[in-house]
Amino acid sequence: MDRPSPLAIIVTGLALLTLMIALAPATIASPRAIIEVLSEDRFRRALLLSLATSMASASIAVLLSIPVAYYVSRRNSSLARLVSSLHLLFLGLPPVGLGVSILILLRHLSPFNLVEDRVNILFTLKAIVVAQAAVVAPLAISLLTSVFSYIPRTLDELASLYGLQGTGLLARILLPVALPGIAGAWILSLFRAIGEFGATLVLAGNTPGYTETLPLAIYNMISVADIEAAGALLLVTVALGVVLLLVYTRLQAVLSRRLEALGWE
């Protein structure tokens, strides 16, 4: 029997460590604790609120990211490189810092403060969606840029023979081809939005029963030393993540087969 290579040992060790971290809450959260937290109105509302706002914010982020990602993937201009650098910058910013920046815009800088005065975003449910969308948009741009980059530019050249360029090319050719990848980007953006904490805390506050999302509920349980309830809520989050990642993996396989069938991979 061949001995495993050092690289295989490292990869296996990191995979096991990741699994241990993800499943660590199971050592303190019994099935009874999970049933109890899911039976409480407060935690059910936090779960449903996280799902609803995350779906909305992921949809907004993906829709806004599609034209940006398409432009970056298809251009080699200074503007494209600048946009690419900026979205990577925002991808690395702490969510709390991003939330503070948005708070300053909405409170102190025109015309954003005028929008806040009219719409009343801060410390409402709308603020949760704004916070989540701001955090996941850079991730969506990065994922979608990769998706569009997988599609060769020869397709653009063929489409141009039929008079399709720019928006027409994107809407009628590239979007249908890239649809599984776009759906996958939405799934990962949804998962990231479900786990968003810092910007949500700054912009929406932490009001149990109102703006308390799933991560805030976990934080609140930790703050009162209810480790078992926090672990139970975290396991619910992990379970959601496993389901979403399975769907994402399936969508990536569909995209790969689609490109392969077209002879581009």
pLDDT tens, 52-75? 999 999 999 999 999 999 888 888
Are 255 and 180 in contact by the 8 Å Cβ rule? The answer is yes
Domain ranges of the chain: 34-261
Terminal CA-to-CA distance of the chain, rounded, Å?
Answer: 35
Rounded Cα distance, 186 and 69, in Å: 14
pLDDT (tens digit per residue) in 24-36: 888 888 888 888 8
- Round the average pLDDT of the chain to a whole number and report it: 88
Closest CA to 144 of 193, 73, 85: 73
pLDDT (tens digit per residue) in 193-235: 999 999 999 999 999 889 999 999 999 999 998 899 899 999 9
What pLDDT, on a 0 to 100 scale, did the predictor assign at position 151?
A: 81
What pLDDT, on a 0 to 100 scale, did the predictor assign at position 45?
A: 94
Could you tell me the pTM of the whole model?
0.90
% the chain with pLDDT above 90: 52
pLDDT higher than 60, residue 44: yes
Are 69 and 87 in contact by the 8 Å Cβ rule? The answer is no
Rounded Cα distance, 132 and 201, in Å: 11
Identify the top-confidence range among 38-42, 90-94, 174-178, 216-220.
216-220
Question: What is the second-level CATH architecture of the domain 34-261?
Answer: Orthogonal Bundle (1.10)
pLDDT (tens digit per residue) in 119-171: 999 999 999 999 999 999 999 999 999 998 888 777 766 667 666 666 777 77
pLDDT higher than 60, residue 265: no
Q: Phi-psi category of 263—alpha, beta or left, where left has phi over 0 and alpha has psi -120 to 50? A: left
